């Protein structure tokens, strides 16, 4: 299990750095696998419900500025997750005491997140295996 975790960390490092090299293009999310943004949103919101701007800042901070989540990508993804029933919203207050939509993960969203994490772990395990054994 430790070997798999180490391989995942190495693969994640190369994955993020390959994105950074291509971030000079405006469409950096084309470099992410389908559903990656939604997965990161669900995982972040399962930690703590928050409004869109706070979520974008959280993703930016966690990724050490490798991921710049633009409104044109974030809000449509949030709408897709709401439509799928994986998120719900309520009105809250921002740090500046302004009304904001707070996004929360639903029970169905938590189940979907669990399934997606399992799927991504299997995908990375397969990629790691190929990268490890392809040259032998």
Length of the chain: 136
Instruction: Report the Cα–Cα distance between both ends of the chain, in Å, rounded.
Output: 22
Average pLDDT over residues 7-16: 54
pTM (global) more than 0.75: no
87-93 and 99-105: which strand pairing? antiparallel
pLDDT digits (tens, 9 = 90+) for 52-101: 999 988 988 888 877 777 888 899 999 999 999 999 999 998 888 999 99
CB proximity list for 84: less than 8 A, separation 6 or greater: 109, 112
Asked if pLDDT for residue 131 goes beyond 70, the answer is yes
Which string of b and e fits 68-95 if b means at least 16 CB within 10 Å? ebeeebbeebbeebbeeebbbeeeeeee
pLDDT digits (tens, 9 = 90+) for 111-130: 999 999 999 999 889 999 99
């Amino acid at each position: 299990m430790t070997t798999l975790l180490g391989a995942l960390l190495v693969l994640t490092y190369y994955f993020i750095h390959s994105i950074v090299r291509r971030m000079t293009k405006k469409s950096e999310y084309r470099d992410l696998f389908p559903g990656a943004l939604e997965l990161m949103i669900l995982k972040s919101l399962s930690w703590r419900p928050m409004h869109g701007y706070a979520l974008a800042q959280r993703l930016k901070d966690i990724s050490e500025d490798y991921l710049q989540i633009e409104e044109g990508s974030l809000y449509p993804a949030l709408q897709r997750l709401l439509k799928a029933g994986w998120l719900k919203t309520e009105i809250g207050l921002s740090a500046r005491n302004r009304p904001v939509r707070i996004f929360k993960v639903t029970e169905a969203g938590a189940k979907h997140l669990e399934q997606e994490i399992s799927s991504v772990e299997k995908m990375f395990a397969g990629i790691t295996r190929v990268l490890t054994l392809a040259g032998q």
